[in-house]
Amino acid sequence: MQKLKNDLFLRACKRLKTERTPIWIMRQAGRYLPQYRKVREKADFLTMCKTPELAAEVTIQPVDIIGVDAAIIFSDILVVPEAMGMKLLMNEGTGPIFLNPLRNESDLKYLKEIESEKDLKYVLDAIALTKKELDGKVPLIGFGGSPWTLMTYMVEGGGNKNFSEIKKFIYNKPDTAHKLLDKIAKAVSNYLSSQIEAGVDAVQIFDTWGGILSSSDYAEFSLPYIEKVISALKRKEEPVIVFAKGINSNFTKLADAGADVISLDWTVNIGEVRKKIGSKAALQGNLDPTVLYAGLEKIKTEALKVMESYGSGEGHIFNLGHGILPDVPPENARYLVEVVKEESKKYHE
Amino acid sequence: MQKLKNDLFLRACKRLKTERTPIWIMRQAGRYLPQYRKVREKADFLTMCKTPELAAEVTIQPVDIIGVDAAIIFSDILVVPEAMGMKLLMNEGTGPIFLNPLRNESDLKYLKEIESEKDLKYVLDAIALTKKELDGKVPLIGFGGSPWTLMTYMVEGGGNKNFSEIKKFIYNKPDTAHKLLDKIAKAVSNYLSSQIEAGVDAVQIFDTWGGILSSSDYAEFSLPYIEKVISALKRKEEPVIVFAKGINSNFTKLADAGADVISLDWTVNIGEVRKKIGSKAALQGNLDPTVLYAGLEKIKTEALKVMESYGSGEGHIFNLGHGILPDVPPENARYLVEVVKEESKKYHE
């Protein structure tokens, strides 16, 4: 295995000393980059995920173009339910759709236990190829969805702003929900372990829909399954990041569940979360992604606010509070990276 | 003016002694009621808002059918921008649309200062008629949007899940944004004052989109304008409720801005907010609206959790954490009201 030339991100995940704050950007391999759109012209989204050469190409793009301190493998959390047997359609207009959403206990029998080495080989191949092409330049992050978030997609089937199907499901069929969450947790754990085996240096669990739950439902339907995934993970010292979108408490519980890093959305104050969580976990985030629509001066002001809020010392990985938006000018992202690289030094003296 | 037969809601708003916790339900005059849908067959949504007899009829329905302790006038927050000169389309499928969204300083000149007595007379007539027909049975709540939330609709024009237009607007044209917020604050304050003059017993300000802002942007673009609206309000002792959807801090600041009651969404813990806010404001909420999809036992369990979280003593108005959903069975709403009426007594002994 190649030694990393830039391991700032990994050191920050472990709350070790760094000369400056590392930065990467969620969805950094994405539509805002003209170089990405050029690849995307050749193939649809899922084909890109399933073609290791294309996935590796777009994964590496932002490392060179934007200057981030980590790459994240180009893929999608929904490849796991697809591997479990669900029919997935990816439409750019409507969002992802499962043609056969799960609604009843009897629907669960269509789901199979996955063997990632076989069923998701294309992701592992993309990881191996990316690691080779990165040549130790920066670490590579793997990822998967939280069981709760994947179940939400699998039960809803398509977009639904009230999340009525998933809520009916957990309230009226809680036993079935727990069975399904267990199955998904096993699959995700197997998948992330295989990603680590294939070479990723860290993994991120996306709990994108955790925030639609009340605090007590979160404690019942999301948190324990994140804990299951993490504790079943086969890893050496690869850190686990949990992106807790829309969650405004439970941060300490996420750290107790085994998250080494908690990734925050832009609505919480990162400094206040740091005070609560103490030395239990590193924090990632949390600039409002829409700030990248602003002029350079405003971008700098807002980036400085995030760094100042976190304050001095280790354990901060700069990121946005959600994925970068497709119509952001790439030069704004590049400027943000420069600002963080330069202005964060004083917090690490 | 008729003396109220049931003033539990108003006493709770003022944190005065009540025998039990009062309850009303956001969007209680709505599509989940077959009696509402029958009226709705006769007229479209905006026509219903603009026809005092129809508005009064559906406003009163849930008082009799569901048994709530307060009525809220049937209307929409977007009648204010419409009165200011914007062209409003209400499509049930796509959500509300403004045909001429505001994007530049020069667009502001099309907005006029409103005189509610003239421009929104139909709402005031509906209030007067409803008060007469309610005959003192329960208090009547009036409402309006927060300046920030109304501006979001006025700038976006239509639905946009990333809120990119409003964010570009505030980041790149902050001076224009502040000018516009000022204009809207004046209109809302005039409108709510007229509603009080026409007979409502309390007003609620809906800050539906406050939660898309970071804490510091909230302090710049939403909070000060809520404060302006409240401080310019002509009222005697009518309480002001602020519904702070998606906000997970800033509660104390809302109380400082003059909110007598803060209405919470379901993602925060009402007991924890009570601890923070002390005696500064009463709290309204905050059952997850999707719990009403569940069976009766689960509805009871979850309602009890909210009451137990708030704890003993005055200042709690039971409500959902957001509007009731259109496909909820009315008997579930009625059952919730019964449970709260019966089970809350012990918290007021």
Give the model's pLDDT for residue B61: 98
pLDDT in tens, B268-294: 999 999 999 999 999 999 999 999 999
Q: Are A8 and A69 in contact (CB under 8 A)?
A: yes
Query: Are the beta carbons of B327 and A295 separated by less than 8 Å?
Result: no
Query: Are the beta carbons of B295 and A171 separated by less than 8 Å?
Result: yes
Q: How confident is the model at residue B23 (pLDDT cuts 50, 70, 90)?
A: very high
Q: Which residues of chain A, if any, have pLDDT below 70?
A: 1-2
Share of chain B above pLDDT 90, in %: 93
**Shortest CA gap B310–chain A (Å):** 14
Give the model's pLDDT for residue A1: 55
Query: Are the beta carbons of A266 and B327 separated by less than 8 Å?
Result: no
d(CA A241, CA A255) in angstroms, rounded, equals 10
Query: Are the beta carbons of B268 and A298 separated by less than 8 Å?
Result: no
| B91 has pLDDT over 90 | no
Structure tokens at A318: 């700069």
Average pLDDT, chain B: 96
Query: Are the beta carbons of B293 and A268 separated by less than 8 Å?
Result: no
Query: So which residues of B are the catalytic ones?
Result: 27, 31, 40, 76, 153
Give the model's pLDDT for residue B1: 55
Query: Are the beta carbons of B164 and A294 separated by less than 8 Å?
Result: no
pLDDT in tens, B338-347: 999 999 999 9
Query: So which residues of A are the catalytic ones?
Result: 27, 31, 40, 76, 153
ipTM: 0.88
Q: Are A116 and A131 in contact (CB under 8 A)?
A: no
Give the model's pLDDT for residue B278: 93
Residues on chain B touching A164 (C-beta within 8 angstroms): 290, 293, 325, 327
Residues on chain B touching A305 (C-beta within 8 angstroms): 216
d(CA B119, CA A312) in angstroms, rounded, equals 55
Q: Please, is B347 exposed, middle or buried when counting C-beta atoms within 10 Å of its C-beta (0-12, 13-18, 19+)?
A: middle
For A63, the 3-state DSSP assignment is helix
d(CA B349, CA A289) in angstroms, rounded, equals 49
pLDDT in tens, B208-252: 999 999 989 999 999 999 999 999 999 999 999 999 899 888 899
Q: Does B155 touch chain A (CB under 8 A)?
A: no
Pick the CATH number of A8-348 from 3.90.1300.10, 3.20.20.80, 3.40.640.10, 3.20.20.210: 3.20.20.210
d(CA B118, CA B190) in angstroms, rounded, equals 12
Nearest CB to A269; choose among B164, B215, B217 = B215
d(CA B149, CA A171) in angstroms, rounded, equals 32
Residues on chain B touching A30 (C-beta within 8 angstroms): none
Q: Are B267 and B306 in contact (CB under 8 A)?
A: no
Q: What does DSSP say about strands B88-91 and B95-98: parallel, antiparallel, or unpaired? A: antiparallel
Nearest CB to A211; choose among B216, B267, B269 = B267
Give the model's pLDDT for residue A250: 86
Q: Which residue, A68, A58, A76, is CA-closest to A25?
A: A68
Residue-range domain boundaries for chain A? 8-348
Give the model's pLDDT for residue A347: 97
Nearest CB to B325; choose among A162, A172, A212 = A162
Mutate to test the interface with A, among B155, B248, B267, B308 (most CBs of A within 10 A): B267
Structure tokens at A234: 């086969």
Query: Are the beta carbons of A293 and B172 separated by less than 8 Å?
Result: yes
d(CA A145, CA B18) in angstroms, rounded, equals 47
| B131 has pLDDT over 70 | yes
Give the model's pLDDT for residue A232: 97
Query: Are the beta carbons of B164 and A325 separated by less than 8 Å?
Result: yes
Give the model's pLDDT for residue B197: 98
Nearest CB to A290; choose among B163, B295, B298 = B163
Query: Are the beta carbons of B267 and A248 separated by less than 8 Å?
Result: yes
A269: nearest CA in chain B?
B215
Q: What does DSSP say about strands A95-98 and A88-91: parallel, antiparallel, or unpaired? A: antiparallel
Q: How confident is the model at residue B47 (pLDDT cuts 50, 70, 90)?
A: very high
Query: Are the beta carbons of B290 and A167 separated by less than 8 Å?
Result: yes
Q: Does A347 touch chain B (CB under 8 A)?
A: no
**Shortest CA gap B246–chain A (Å):** 9
Query: Are the beta carbons of A168 and B305 separated by less than 8 Å?
Result: no
Q: Does B325 touch chain A (CB under 8 A)?
A: yes
Q: Does B213 touch chain A (CB under 8 A)?
A: yes
Residues on chain A touching B216 (C-beta within 8 angstroms): 305
CA atoms within 13 A on the CB side of A35: 15
Give the model's pLDDT for residue B232: 97
Give the model's pLDDT for residue A91: 78
Interface subset of B 277-316, CB within 8 angstroms of A: 288-291, 293-295, 298, 305
B214: nearest CA in chain A?
A267
B215: nearest CA in chain A?
A267
Range B316-327 average pLDDT:
96
Q: Does B159 touch chain A (CB under 8 A)?
A: no
| B2 has pLDDT over 80 | no
Query: Are the beta carbons of A249 and B266 separated by less than 8 Å?
Result: no
Q: How confident is the model at residue B112 (pLDDT cuts 50, 70, 90)?
A: very high
Phi and psi at A145, nearest 5°, equal -85, 155
Nearest CB to B171; choose among A249, A293, A327 = A293
Q: Does B175 touch chain A (CB under 8 A)?
A: no
Nearest CB to A168; choose among B171, B266, B293 = B293
